[in-house]
Amino acid sequence: MLPGHPYIHYSNGTLHVEQCDLAPLANQLGTPLFVYSKASMLAALAAYQRGFAGRNAQICYAMKANSTLGVLQVFAQAGCGFDIVSAGELARVLAAGGEASKVIFSGVGKTRAEMRTALEAGIGCFNVESEAELEVLNAVALSTNVRAPVSIRVNPNVDPQTHPYISTGLKGNKFGIAHERTLATYQRAASLPGLHVVGIDCHIGSQITLESPYLDAMDRVLDLVETIEAAGIPLEHIDFGGGLGINYQGDTPPEADALWNKLLTKLDVRGFGKRKLMIEPGRSLVGNAGVCITEVLYTKPGEQKNFCIVDAAMNDLPRPAMYQAYHGIVPVQQSSATQQEVVYDVVGPVCESGDWLGRDRPLAVQAGDQLAVLSAGAYCMSMASNYNARPRAAEVLVDGATAHVVRTRDTLQDLLRGEVLPPASKTPD
C-alpha cells in the first residue's frame, strides 16, 4: 500500500487500485486515464458517518470536487445529499439518482434562472451569500409560488491557514455575509414573504489540515446562532461547510471522526448537540480515491533541468498550474534495480510554462513507461478543459476487481460539438 492511499498498492510489480491492475487497464483504455476506488470513497464517507453516529446530521457531498455521474451515484446510493454551485450541478445530481430535497445550493452568483430551476426541483436549501441575493431570491420565489428555504452563509473571519486561493472565510474574501451584518440580514430574510429561514452556514476554506480553524469558526457561528435566535428567528439546522484537507505531501489533517468528536463536544457543551447538523465535504471524500495514469512520451535532458514529458497536462490536472499544488507521482511498473533515477520536472504537452505536474522528482523512467499522478480524485477532472484542443481523459470507477468505464474519452467530434461556421465570405476578385 502507498502511504496515505490505503486502496492503492503494488502487487506483482505493478500499481493496483483495489484489485485492479492499472498497467493493462491503461494499455486497453489509453492515457491519460483517471481511475477511482469506490471503496476508498466509501471509507472516507464512513469516517464522517462514524463521527456523526447517533446525531441528526446530513452529509452533503460538495460535488464540485468531482462531479462525474458515476462518482455522484456512489454518494447518492450511500444516502448523501449534495452541495451544488450551479444549475448544471443540480442536473447532474438528478441524472445520477440524487434527491433534490437533499441538495443545498451554494455560491455567490446564482442567476434568476438557476434559482427558478432549483425551486421547481424542490431543493433543500439555498445558502445565500449576499443581501442583494436575498431580495432576488424572494422575487423569484414569489413568481414561482414556491417558498425558498434559506440559510445565510456567514463569514466567521478565521484564517484556515491554507493557500490564499482556497481560503474563503476571511474578511477580504468574496464569500458570505460579514459577521456584523448577520443579524440585520437574518431580520430582512425573515421579513420577506417568499423566503423561509431554515439555517445558517459557513465554509472557511479548503485543504485545511488543522483543527483549530474549525473550532474557532464553530464558536463564532454558535455566537451568531444565539444572537439570531434571541431576536426571535429560529434556525432548524447549522451547516459547517467542508474544507477538510487530505494528505498530498506528508500532510496530516485530522481524521474526520476525530475532528467531529471534538466539534460535537463543543456543540454539546454549548447546548446545540441536538440541532440538525449539515456538512459539505468535497476533497476529503474523493481526493485520495483517484489517480491519473499518464504515459511518458519523451525524456529531455537539459543543462539546468531534465524534463519528463508526459501525455497528461494542465488541462487534465490543473492544480499545479493554478495553486502550485503538489501531487505525488509514482511509476505504474515498479522499476528494475538497474534503471538509474534522474531528477525530472514532469511536464505536459500544453504550450504554457505553467504546464507542469511535478517539479524535481527523482524517477527511473523511459519513453513508453506509465506514471500515476496521485491524489487526483478531487479538483482534477471537474476542472479539466479542452485547452489546446485536447480531448478530456476517460474515467474508470474500480469496485474490487471490476473496472467500470464511467466516462469515455472525448472524441475529436466531441471537440467540435456546438460550433458553427458562418457562411464563407466571397473572396474578393
β-pairing, 195-201 vs 148-155, is: parallel
Q: How far is the CB of 283 from ligand PLP (least distance, A)?
A: 4
Output 50 or 359, the one with its CB closest to ligand PLP.
50
Report the sign of the C-alpha dihedral through residues 329, 334, 338, 339, in that order. Answer: negative
Cα separation, 65 vs 391, whole angstroms? 20
Side-chain-side CA neighbours of 49 within 13 Å: the count stands at 12
Output 185 or 206, the one with its CB closest to ligand PLP.
206
Side-chain-side CA neighbours of 39 within 13 Å: the count stands at 14
Output 106 or 157, the one with its CB closest to ligand PLP.
106
SS3 category, 252: coil
Burial of 428 (0-12, 13-18, 19+ CB in 10 A): exposed
Q: How far is the CB of 280 from ligand PLP (least distance, A)?
A: 4
Active-site residue flag, 351: yes
Q: How far is the CB of 230 from ligand PLP (least distance, A)?
A: 26
Please say whether the beta carbons of 238 and 276 come within 8 A: yes
Cα separation, 309 vs 297, whole angstroms? 6
Q: How far is the CB of 154 from ligand PLP (least distance, A)?
A: 12
Q: How far is the CB of 27 from ligand PLP (least distance, A)?
A: 32
Closest-approach residue to ligand PLP (CB): 282
What's the grid cell of residue 120? Answer: 421547481
Q: How far is the CB of 326 from ligand PLP (least distance, A)?
A: 16
Q: Point out which residues bind ligand PLP (CB under 6 A).
A: 62, 64-65, 83, 106, 203, 206, 241-244, 280-284
Cα separation, 287 vs 282, whole angstroms? 8
Question: Exactly one of 60, 292, 308, 351 is catalytic; which is it?
Answer: 351
Among all chains, which residue has been given the C-alpha cell 481523459?
393
Burial of 171 (0-12, 13-18, 19+ CB in 10 A): exposed
**Size of the chain in residues:** 429
Output 166 or 197, the one with its CB closest to ligand PLP.
166
Catalytic residues: 351
